[in-house]
Amino acid sequence: MRYLIILMFCFLISSHLCAQTEQEVYCYIITIGIKHPDIVLKQAIYETGHFRSNIFNKRNNLFGFRQRKYIYFDTWKSCIDYYKVWQEKHYKDDSVDYYRFLTRNNFSAKNRQRYVTQLKQTRIKAKPNNCLVDEKK
């Protein structure tokens, strides 16, 4: 019984930490002006397994960016900054559906259509209502 209580406590703590991470990631995505922030947050959640993957924990890589090997980022924010630059370089037409854009730009190299389906099914646990945005940007 003691182990069950400890296990339940650990689960509650870990789900709270994930929700806080989701909130921090989402607010930063909003703050720096990334387009389609809900979809981009879903990408981060999906690519990192709700912020638990080794690639995220060891390399701060939220989106699976590679250059032969997975790219190492100093912080998770620098990974989101990298995503913004990538998005600005490749997403030129705001009228194009963002899921279609991801498919066309081969964001998921293996199975593009399955990737989009998985993103659409990804649930956001803690989407914040109030992100402070620096108006100087």
> What burial class does residue 45 get, using C-beta atoms within 10 Å of its C-beta: 0-12 exposed, 13-18 middle, 19+ buried?
buried
Summarised one tens digit per residue, pLDDT across range 23-51 is 999 999 999 999 999 999 999 999 999 99
| Structural domain contains residue 52 | yes
CATH number of residue 38's parent domain: 1.10.530.10
* Residue range of the domain that includes 76: 2-121
Please give the Cα distance from 26 to 42 (Å, whole number): 10
Burial of 107 (0-12, 13-18, 19+ CB in 10 A): buried
Report if residue 76 sits inside a domain: yes
Is residue 136 domain-resident?
no
| pTM of the predicted protein model | 0.79
The predicted-structure confidence for 77-100, as pLDDT tens digits, reads as follows 999 999 999 999 999 999 999 999
In a domain, 37, yes or no: yes
| Structural domain includes residue 111 | yes
Report how far residue 8's alpha carbon sits from residue 123's, in angstroms, rounded to the nearest whole number: 22
CB 2 within 8 A of CB 10: no
Q: What are the pLDDT digits (tens) for 3-21? A: 545 544 444 444 444 545 8
pLDDT at 15: 42
Assigned domain for 17 exists: yes
CB contact at 8 A, 13 and 116: no
- Give SS3 for 37: helix
* 133 domain-assigned: no
Q: For the chain, how many structural domains are there in total?
A: 1
* pLDDT at residue number 2: 57
Residue 53 within any structural domain of the chain: yes
Say what the pLDDT of residue 104 is. 83
